[in-house]
Amino acid sequence: MTIARPLKTPKDLVEADLVEAEHLGDIARVAERYAIAITPAMTALIDRNDPADPIALQFVPDAAELVTTREERDDPIGDLAHSPVEGIVHRYPDRVLLKAVHVCPVYCRFCFRREMVGPQGLGTLSSEAMDKAFAYIAEHPEIWEVILTGGDPLVLSPRRLAEITQRLSAIEHVKIVRFHSRVPVVEPERVDAELIAALKASGKTTYVALHANHPRELTQDARAACARLVDSGIVMVSQSVLLKGVNDDVDTLAELMRAFVETRIKPYYLHHPDLAPGTSHFRLSIAEGQALVAALRGRISGLCQPTYILDVPGGYGKAPLAPSFVEMDEDGAVSVSDYRGGKHRYPPES
């Protein structure tokens, strides 16, 4: 079934054969609280014959989202606690988030900002709020990097993006402009010469961090969109979320990380899923995550290794979760594990 328009309502999903009519009531209740959107590129990837399809799991709403557990919270990574002015999150000294827009081309069912994004979310920053956000960046010389996130900043028109990058170009102490986006995968046709030109800030280095979670998302069209970005001189890194049922096995993770590297995207973060409301069906334990990350070591090239990371709930920033390969006893003797589990004293006894 070819569907040329984005799916945005429970009725759209039933008509596209992605939700059974008998579940329409539950899905309508989910839609009252959380936004829905699936682009044609992602709809085309879904295997309707597979009830556990990893693409469908990411985008098609599920009645499990109606369950909010005790530990889940509306602002799981504590953006609001670190927002000095509207649209800015200043959590670490040398960088800020600039959340210009709270709209995405797709709405991920595990989204960590699901209470802020979507048609009923925080919307797009007004021009007055934008002025205040740029004034804040200009007044803080310690800000070396500005990360455009949201929402997905690449839904903005090239004209709006160019305005942002030109204003950042004029701030001497900002050296890096980074965009967090799913667009090259979920709407690759949007990545054209005009958009690419708009991402570049004169005198600064532009990074695009691509969010993708399953190797099937790296279609030929997605890879071509990424190639256009990289060929233009933009540096790409990846971000993925470790998700039960989507990528919580070593083969899938290995294939995903290799697909990134083949596409000239350096694997950067593998996020432990955040405590966003209605997402407990996606979460695995940190111990399970560590076992998967340990299994990647040695199995795939060092180029393909992401950093397994947790955003500490409450806004305390990121903490690496990687299993340790080093043990030290009380006398300071060091034992190092190899990727097969063998232990070796360091330095070796002669």
Is 311 annotated as catalytic? yes
CA distance readout (Å), 266 to 229, 262, 302: 14, 9, 10
Is 108 annotated as catalytic? yes
Give the residue with the Cβ less far from ligand SF4, 275 or 294: 275
Smallest distance, Å, CB 202 to ligand SF4? 28
What does DSSP assign to residue 245? T
Cross-strand pairs, 22: none
**Cα 7 to Cα 37: distance, rounded to the nearest angstrom:** 5
Smallest distance, Å, CB 111 to ligand SF4? 3
Using alpha carbons only, give the angle 81, 37, 165 rounded to the nearest 5 degrees. 55
Cis-peptide, bond into residue 267, ω within 30° of zero: no
Smallest distance, Å, CB 266 to ligand SF4? 19
Q: Which of 107, 108, 223, 283 is catalytic?
A: 108
Smallest distance, Å, CB 182 to ligand SF4? 4
Q: Which of 99, 113, 200, 223 is catalytic?
A: 113
Question: Which residues are CB-neighbours of 315 under 8 A, at least 6 positions away?
Answer: 77, 78, 79, 80, 81, 82, 91
Is 226 annotated as catalytic? no
Is 111 annotated as catalytic? yes
Q: Which of 91, 178, 216, 283 is catalytic?
A: 91
Is 113 annotated as catalytic? yes
Contact of 3 with 24, CB cutoff 8 Å: no
Smallest distance, Å, CB 269 to ligand SF4? 13
Give the residue with the Cβ less far from ligand SF4, 107 or 260: 107
CA distance readout (Å), 245 to 54, 56, 248: 7, 11, 6
Q: Which residues bind ligand SF4 (CB under 6 A)?
A: 104, 107-108, 111, 113, 117, 151-152, 182, 211
Give the residue with the Cβ less far from ligand SF4, 18 or 106: 106
Give the residue with the Cβ less far from ligand SF4, 164 or 241: 241
Question: Which residues are CB-neighbours of 283 under 8 A, at least 6 positions away?
Answer: 244, 273
Is 304 annotated as catalytic? no
Is 318 annotated as catalytic? yes
Cis-peptide, bond into residue 298, ω within 30° of zero: no
Cross-strand pairs, 145: 95, 176
Give the residue with the Cβ less far from ligand SF4, 140 or 318: 318
Give the residue with the Cβ less far from ligand SF4, 45 or 117: 117
Q: Which of 104, 114, 167, 304 is catalytic?
A: 104
List, by residue number, the catalytic residues: 91-92, 95, 104, 108, 111, 113, 274, 311, 318
